[in-house]
Amino acid sequence: MKKRGKKSELQSKRLNAALLLLRYTLLLVFGIFLSVFYKLLFYVTVYPVFFVLAVFYDISIKASSIFVANVEIQIVNACVAGSAYYLLLILNLTTPMAAKKRAKTIIFSLLALLILNILRIILFSALYVENFTFFDITHKLVWYVMSIVFVIAIWFATVKIYKIENIPVYSDFKRLYKGKL
Question: pLDDT digits over 116-161, tens only?
Answer: 999 999 999 999 999 999 998 998 888 888 888 999 999 999 999 9
Whole-number Cα distances in Å, 87 to 30, 60, 109, 173? 11, 32, 11, 19
Round the CA-based radius of gyration of the chain to a whole number and report it. Answer: 21
Q: Per-residue pLDDT tens for 62-87?
A: 988 999 999 999 998 888 989 999 99
Contact 22, 96 (CB under 8 A): no
How many distinct structural domains can be found in the chain?
A: 1
| β partners of residue 65 | 62, 74
pLDDT of residue 1: 46
What is the C-alpha to C-alpha distance for residues 48 and 30, in angstroms, rounded to an integer?
24
Contact 113, 41 (CB under 8 A): no
State pTM to two decimals.
Answer: 0.86
Longest Cα–Cα distance in the chain: 77
Q: Would you state the torsion angle of the CA atoms of residues 99, 151, 84, 132, taken in this order, to the nearest 10 degrees?
A: 150
| Structural domain span for residue 93 | 2-177
Name the band, by pLDDT with cuts 50, 70 and 90, for residue 5.
low
What is the C-alpha to C-alpha distance for residues 83 and 38, in angstroms, rounded to an integer?
9
